[in-house]
Amino acid sequence: MTDQAIFVASIILLLAFAVERLGKVSGVPSVVILILIGLIGKPAMEIGGLELSGLDTAVPVIGTIGLILIVLEGAFDIDLHKDKLRHAKSAFLMAGAGLIGCTLVFATAANLILDLSIQQALILAVPLSVISSAVAIPSSAFLPAEGREFVVYESSVSDILGILIFFTLLASDGTLAGILSKLVGGGLLSLALGSICAAGLLLILIRIDGHIRFIPLLAGLFALYAGGKMMHLSPLIMVLLFGLVINNPQLFSRLRGFRGLDANSYDATLAEFKTLTMELTFAVRGFFFILLGYWTDLSTLLSVAAWAAAALILVVIFTMRLLLLRWLQHDLTDALAWIAPRGLITVLLFLAAKDAMALPAFLDGAVLLVVLASAILISIGRLQWAKAGAPAEKLNAAEKAAAHESGAEG
């Protein structure tokens, strides 16, 4: 049994790596291929006499680790300098308006069609309204620098806001006062504790010598998240703050204990930590989506109700996105309109919503179909962008620059 587990885990990682390479060459987002591998792998493994057990526990745990790493990676993409933030205002506005607009539409539909309470409808709506930065950022490689920067900020903010709002709704009593109390009260306490812990972890990163530095740091971050959950706080705020602080050391560089920071040495250390984080995120994402495909009941994908629900969800997502981009009068509207993928965060938050309330079985299939279709539509957008007259040399330069900037992201 141990040998089988090691064999399967190794094959999953190798497949995930191969899929990432293939995705960069073909332009097809890796999430699509990973899920399909899982879907096809289940009957293939059954024929070979192999079976994976314990997935009901493994998938949420792997997903939670991925959630922490994705928020951390998203924070690494946010540069808190005045010149950067000035250009990112439209992306922040797009992320907030898109999240709120889609959530209100989906919640209204869930309240009327599925007969859910307002709180339950909102909890179900948020996962479908969050853009996946893990899919969007590497998939935006075909865009010029301005477009890639927009996608980085928009998807990162969408991730973070969506997660915070979701867990606030989940922990509240359903009243407006209860939601505001959790959002403001718990948020302020989390901000205070998060700032202290982020400063402490930054000091550890600066002061620790030797080869073993990053694993204890990540262990402390995971412990911080788990402790915050047990205290009914908003621990992802703490993760976000940690990522923002270490990526923007100027926030603390004037404080006592942080003065005299060697910029060159710190930049090299930070680059190493980001590389480790990207590699871990890659491994967790690969495991999660392949196991998700394996775990999925194929019958839910064959449901007419699942296809109808997925179609309606996609129409709302992309109509809302097109309207908002035109309202912002963005120069790259035609290309950006296709980049609104749902991914790991959508699935993980949906699983948490299922634990909190009874939902129709067809929604399992609908969510997976939305994840697959929204990722595939990016490829269509890429083809249309190329056909619209983007010079080949400009397209290649953009992709090379994105590959250089994102490193191992996939």
For 225-258, how does the pLDDT look when each residue is reduced to its tens digit (9 = 90+)? 888 777 766 677 778 788 888 887 777 666 665 6
Residue 75 has pLDDT above 80, yes or no: no
Residue 309 has pLDDT above 80, yes or no: yes
Residue 182: the pLDDT is 65
3-state secondary structure string across the chain: CHHHHHHHHHHHHHHHHHHHHHHHHHCCCHHHHHHHHHHHHHHHHHHCCCCCCCHHHHHHHHHHHHHHHHHHHHHHCCCCCHHHHHHHHHHHHHHHHHHHHHHHHHHHHHHHHCCCCHHHHHHHHHHHHCCCHHHHHHHHHHCCHHHHHHHHHHHHHHHHHHHHHHHHHHHCCCCHHHHHHHHHHHHHHHHHHHHHHHHHHHHHHHHCCCCCCHHHHHHHHHHHHHHHHHCCCCHHHHHHHHHHHHHCHHHCCCCCCCCCCCHHHHHHHHHHHHHHHHHHHHHHHHHHHHHHHHHCCHHHHCCHHHHHHHHHHHHHHHHHHHHHHHHHCCCCHHHHCCCCCCCHHHHHHHHHHHHHCCCCCHHHHHHHHHHHHHHHHHHHHHHHHHHCCCCHHHHHHHHHHHHHHHCCCC
Predicted confidence band of residue 366 (pLDDT cuts 50, 70, 90): very high
Residue 408 has pLDDT above 50, yes or no: no
112-144 exposure pattern, b = at least 16 Cβ within 10 A, e = fewer = eeeebeebbbbbbbbbbbbbbbbbbbbbbbbbb
C-alpha 25/C-alpha 209 separation (Å) is 40
The alpha carbon of residue 112 and the mean position of all alpha carbons in its chain are separated, in whole angstroms, by 29
Residue 193 buriedness (CB in 10 A; 0-12 / 13-18 / 19+):
buried
Residue 54 has pLDDT above 70, yes or no: no
Domain encompassing residue 239: 2-406
Residue 145: the pLDDT is 76
| High-pLDDT (> 90) share of the chain, % | 16
Of 135-139, 164-168, 325-329, 394-398, minimum mean pLDDT range: 394-398
Predicted confidence band of residue 156 (pLDDT cuts 50, 70, 90): confident
Say which residue, 162 or 50, is predicted with more confidence.
162
Residue 311: the pLDDT is 96
Q: What does pLDDT average to over the chain?
A: 79
Compute how many other C-beta atoms are within 10 angstroms of the C-beta atom of residue 384: 14
Task: Indicate the angle between helix axes 362-387 and 304-328, nearest 10 degrees.
Answer: 40
Give the count of domains, the chain. Answer: 1
pTM given for the model = 0.78
Predicted confidence band of residue 270 (pLDDT cuts 50, 70, 90): confident
The CATH number covering residue 296 comes to 1.20.1530.20
Predicted confidence band of residue 51 (pLDDT cuts 50, 70, 90): low
Residue 81 has pLDDT above 90, yes or no: no
pLDDT tens-place string over residues 104-134 = 999 999 999 998 988 899 999 999 999 988 7
Residue 126: the pLDDT is 94
Say which residue, 282 or 171, is predicted with more confidence.
282
Of 99-113, 123-137, 188-202, minimum mean pLDDT range: 188-202
Say which residue, 398 or 123, is predicted with more confidence.
123
| High-pLDDT (> 70) share of the chain, % | 79
Residue 292: the pLDDT is 80
